[in-house]
Amino acid sequence: MSTLPIVNPHLELNSAPAQSMNGHEPESLDDLFNKEVNASEAAEITKRNMAPAGTYVTEPADFPPSVLPVKQPEKNKAGEVTGDRLMATVIARATATIKGNDITQVLRFSLSPEQRFKKVYEDSQWTGEYDEAKDDLASRLWANAVSAYQDFHGKGTTFTQGDVLEFLKNVPVALRTMQGDRGELVVLSLSSRGRHRG
């Protein structure tokens, strides 16, 4: 009767000789952990693999978006909670045709029926002030969603906030995007794809 070989649990991971890969000289684990990070190379990799910005259209018939209502704590500049805000986070699969190629991405964005002004930043830090001439992105996206609902169903109809969220789950909408600082796609606006004919 054959027996399985006994493996020494105390065997060091770097005790075996490393194999050359892709023409690079093998390194020990110590070399790997102590080597300085090439941040510029990492940034180039991120840039090469960024999803292209464009207008993406959701596909609710095949992939219904998730719409998650949440109460988001609001804080002042000191980090103290001053209240909360009703938000809805939408996670949707959407496709854009860019340079003749269909590109599909999973997009995530948040919108809110509770209006807030845009925060003022300096050197990527919130100053604690608001620009009262501009609404924040969540407010603008909510206004876009209301307009898209009315474009689809017709103006003059009475509807609820829940109706708007159900609309985003069940009707294709166009999402205009830009590339964020970390390579993610940021949804800047949304619009209707046309009026309901039924």
State residue 96's pLDDT score. Answer: 96
pLDDT in tens, 20-29: 555 566 667 7
State residue 11's pLDDT score. Answer: 45
pTM over 0.85: no
- Report the percent of the chain where pLDDT is more than 90: 65
The residue-averaged pLDDT of 116-131 equals: 95
Strand (E) positions, the chain?
55-58, 66-75, 81-98, 101-111, 117-122, 125-135, 173-179, 185-192
Of 56, 157, 141, the C-alpha closest to 97 is 56
**Pairing mode, if any, of strands 55-58 and 173-179?**
antiparallel
Residue 160 clears pLDDT 70, i.e. is over it: yes
Report the Cα–Cα distance between both ends of the chain, in Å, rounded: 74
- Joined together, the tokens standing for residue 109 give 């964005």
User: How far is CA 111 from each of CA 7, 11, 156, rounded to the nearest angstrom?
Assistant: 55, 54, 23
The residue-averaged pLDDT of 108-132 equals: 96
Residue 18 clears pLDDT 80, i.e. is over it: no
pLDDT in tens, 162-174: 999 999 999 999 9
pLDDT in tens, 52-77: 999 999 999 999 999 999 999 999 99
pLDDT in tens, 84-98: 999 999 999 999 999
Residue 161 clears pLDDT 50, i.e. is over it: yes
- Report the percent of the chain where pLDDT is more than 70: 84
Of 70, 107, 114, the C-alpha closest to 90 is 107
Contact call for residues 70 and 87 (beta carbons, < 8 A):
yes
Contact call for residues 83 and 112 (beta carbons, < 8 A):
no
* Rounded Cα–Cα distance for residues 181 and 141 (Å): 20
- Joined together, the tokens standing for residue 174 give 């166009």
With residues binned 3-state (H G I as helix, E B as strand, rest as coil), the percentages for the chain, rounded to 5, are: 20, 40, 40
Mean pLDDT of the chain: 87
**Pairing mode, if any, of strands 125-135 and 55-58?**
unpaired
pLDDT in tens, 19-53: 555 556 666 777 778 889 998 888 788 778 788 99
State residue 197's pLDDT score. Answer: 52
The residue count of the chain comes to: 198
State residue 193's pLDDT score. Answer: 82
